[in-house]
Every structure is written in C-alpha cells, then in structure tokens.
Amino acid sequence: MGERNPAPPASEARGPGRSPETSTTPRLPLDRIAAALRRERTRAGLSLSELAKRAGIAKSTLSQLEAANGKPGLETLWALSVALDVPPSVLLDPPRTAVHVIRAGQGPTVPSEVASYSAALLSASPPGARRDLYFLQVEPGSPRDSDAHSPGTTEHLIVATGRVLAGPTEDPVELAPGDYLSYPGDAPHTCRALEPGTTCVLVMQHT
C-alpha cells in the first residue's frame, strides 16, 4: 500500500486567522440536543426510522445526532421539532437560573444549511406563559426603579443601542448592545441608561 499523504497542519486546515479557541460562534449544546431528541422520540413512541422519515432526513443523520455527533443545521432541527410536535427550543434550551445573562454572540446558535442566517435561542416560553413585548427608549438620569410585579413575572431585556444597568435592584448587571438578561420581575428591579440614545427590547412574561 502507498503511503498516505500527511494531514495538513490544523492551522492550514482551518484557514488563516481561524481556530476553535478564537471562534466567535458558540458551540451547539450537542449533548443536550442528543438527550432531548432521545427523550422526545421515546415520548412520541417513534423509532429512529420513523422519526427520520417524518422529518425527511437520513436515519444515519438522526442516529449521529442522538449520539451527540454531527453539526445539525437550523432546517434539520426545525424539521425534527415539527415531526416530534414540540417547539424547536425544546431541543436547545439550556438550564436557567433566576438571573441569566447571555452576552452578545454567546447564545447557543444554530446556522442555516441553505442561507447566510443563524438563530440564537435566548429564552423558551414555558407552558401557560403570556409574554408582552415592549421597545424601551432610555436616557441617562434617574433610574427607573420598579416595585415587584405579580408573582411569577419574569422580565427579559435585550439591548439594541447604548448601554444600560438593569436587573435586580440589589445586584444590577451592565449590558451592551446584543446582550440579553432575564431576571425575576416579581422582586424589586431597576433600569438606568449609561449612554444617551439607549434602546432595549423588554419582554414581560407572566405565568
């Protein structure tokens, strides 16, 4: 047998200026995706072959995903969620704490398989929840201090422009454009702009 050509150095294989350590794209939570697929497939009473057929993907692809291998794209995960009759977030949603921060570019991101497009899950709506959406325009000055809302309220804040100090009154978090924060709305909380022209999207979730 002839001698195989040696593999190119990792730096060359990745291309100039790119490495796993410096990539700004967060890794997919493959273990959680695999566990969720197995759990939901079992719940639905489907075999690997039947779920793959319903989702329009190869059985080998599904088998790899359930083994936490491969790189599922947005279309594949969407097709699987439709076949399983669950929201796509069920396959991605990480465990959450009372106060949860996702810095810009750090959320679990799924790229499209056919377009220059990606989606990062920030928060999945729990069963029975109602969510109201607000656009905030905030200027420096006195903070907007809020008393506790009704029990079970959670607020989600995404900064569009400027900088803001927001969250629990006793321990607010400084946020920049693209950052996401969730915190209990049924406890005292605050919001204060740190730059002129600060804008945010606020989602109030009620259960």
The string of pLDDT tens digits covering residues 133-184 is 999 999 999 899 988 988 889 999 999 999 999 999 999 999 999 999 999 9
Give the span between the Cα atoms of 30 and 10, in whole angstroms.
Answer: 23
| pLDDT for the residue numbered 91 | 85
List C-alpha distances in Å: 139 to 8, 33, 67, 119, 167: 53, 41, 49, 30, 17
On whether the CB atoms of residues 126 and 203 are closer than 8 A, the answer is no
Give the Cα separation of 53 and 60 in Å (integer): 11
| In 8-94, alpha helices (H) | 10-14, 30-44, 48-55, 59-66, 74-84
Position with higher pLDDT, 126 vs 45: 45
Name the burial class of residue 31, with classes exposed (0-12), middle (13-18) and buried (19+) by CB atoms within 10 angstroms of its CB: exposed
Condensed to tens digits (0 to 9), the pLDDT of residues 50-106 reads 999 999 999 999 999 999 988 888 789 889 988 998 877 788 766 667 898 999 988
Q: Are 40 and 90 in contact (CB under 8 A)?
A: yes
Q: Please, what is the average pLDDT of the chain?
A: 83
* Lookup result for tokens 């969620």: 81
Please report the pLDDT score of residue 23 as a whole number: 47
pTM over 0.85: no
Q: What pLDDT, on the 0 to 100 scale, is given for residue 10?
A: 39
Q: What backbone phi and psi angles, to 5 degrees, belong to 46? A: -110, 145
pLDDT digits (tens, 9 = 90+) for 152-162: 899 999 999 99
